[in-house]
């Protein structure tokens, strides 16, 4: 059953109805080709899902009647992981956002570092962020997430470091040293983790030294060199497995 995210102001509690607008109207009408009496799921992004029936379809909106509401599922319960990544080339960002959302990332923090090849001015960065947020929204709908992960505005290296105080644990993926993930997670029980991954050329030694001085721990993801778009996905999958968020019990 197709699922769509909605805002609180789209719900009319008094009439037990809700209204869909924007891109969702196009998707329902022209992609899903649903008609009146069609059934869809809607999620308010803060913990509640609604099973609704389409009652009226117009050019710019679709009105639905709420049939039932229930608690959302699909959100990690034991840990929130934010993926901070230095902008890779091409469409690799799309892959990180889509698959990271499917794997349960709570947020994404794009930044530029010394070896970042991609350069975006403020205007281009703003447009790119809008596109990235749409990718995350669609991935969250497809994967039955309970909320849409946040895509932060593009930051420089110093701004990225300034975010460290918001997290219980900072893991810095570094191919030239560091500890295995299970060593860094054992006994910590961090509720919020920031994973930092570099660009195609990796991080400089100065950057590695700097993050350690700011409280980060060096993370080694094994003997194989992972691509810039693979490393963050490997890290979040391993973290969620360790916390029991990919099935089974926490290790």
Domains within the chain, CATH numbers bracketed: 3-71 (2.40.240.20), 80-242 (3.40.1280.10)
Contacts of 165 (CB under 8 A, 6+ apart): none
Residue 218: predicted pLDDT: 97
**DSSP helix/strand/coil, 234:** helix
Residue 189 has pLDDT above 80, yes or no: yes
Please report the beta strands in the chain, taking only residues with DSSP state E, as ranges in sequence order.
Answer: 3-5, 11-12, 17-21, 39-43, 48-57, 61-71, 80-86, 107-111, 150-151, 169-173, 192-197, 217-219
Mean pLDDT of 109-135: 94
Residue 127 has pLDDT above 80, yes or no: yes
Residue 2: predicted pLDDT: 87
Beta bridge partners of 63: 19, 56
Residue 245: predicted pLDDT: 94
Mean pLDDT of 110-126: 93
With a pLDDT cut of 90, the percent of the chain lying above it is: 90
Q: Which uninterrupted H or E stretch holds 100?
A: helix 92-102
Residue 107: predicted pLDDT: 98
Residue 93 has pLDDT above 90, yes or no: yes
Q: For the chain, how big is the Rg over CA atoms in Å?
A: 20
Give ∠ CA 90-93-96 in degrees, rounded to 5. 135
Residue 46 has pLDDT above 80, yes or no: yes
Give the model confidence (pLDDT) of 136-148 as tens digits. 999 999 999 999 9
CA dihedral over 114, 119, 120, 122, signed as positive or negative: positive
Residue 248: predicted pLDDT: 73
Within 13 Å, how many C-alpha atoms sit on residue 81's CB side?
32
Q: Who has greater pLDDT, 20 or 122? A: 20
Residue 166: predicted pLDDT: 97
Give the model confidence (pLDDT) of 53-90 as tens digits. 999 999 899 999 999 999 998 899 999 999 999 999 98
């Amino acid at each position: 059953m197709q699922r769509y995210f909605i805002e609180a102001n789209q719900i009319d509690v008094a009439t037990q109805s809700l209204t869909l607008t924007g891109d969702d109207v196009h998707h329902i009408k022209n992609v899903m080709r649903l008609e009146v009496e069609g059934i869809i799921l809607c999620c308010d992004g803060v913990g509640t899902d609604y099973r609704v029936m389409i009652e009226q379809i117009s050019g710019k909106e679709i009105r639905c009647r709420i049939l039932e509401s229930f608690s959302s599922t699909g959100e990690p319960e034991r840990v929130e992981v934010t993926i901070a990544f230095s902008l890779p080339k091409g469409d690799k960002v799309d892959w990180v956002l889509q698959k990271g959302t499917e794997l349960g990332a709570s947020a994404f923090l794009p930044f530029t570092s010394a070896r970042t090849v991609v350069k975006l001015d403020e205007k281009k960065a703003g447009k790119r962020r809008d596109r990235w947020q749409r990718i995350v929204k669609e991935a969250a709908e497809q994967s039955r997430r309970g909320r849409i992960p946040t895509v932060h505005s593009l930051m420089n290296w110093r701004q990225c470091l300034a975010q460290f105080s918001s997290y219980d644990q900072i893991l810095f993926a570094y191919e030239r040293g560091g500890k295995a993930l299970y060593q860094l997670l054992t006994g910590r029980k961090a509720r919020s983790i920031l994973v930092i991954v570099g660009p195609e050329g990796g991080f400089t030694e100065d950057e590695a030294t700097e993050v350690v001085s700011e409280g980060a721990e060096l993370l080694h993801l094994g003997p194989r060199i992972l691509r810039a778009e693979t490393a963050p996905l490997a890290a979040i999958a391993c973290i969620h497995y360790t916390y029991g968020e990919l099935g089974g019990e926490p290790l």
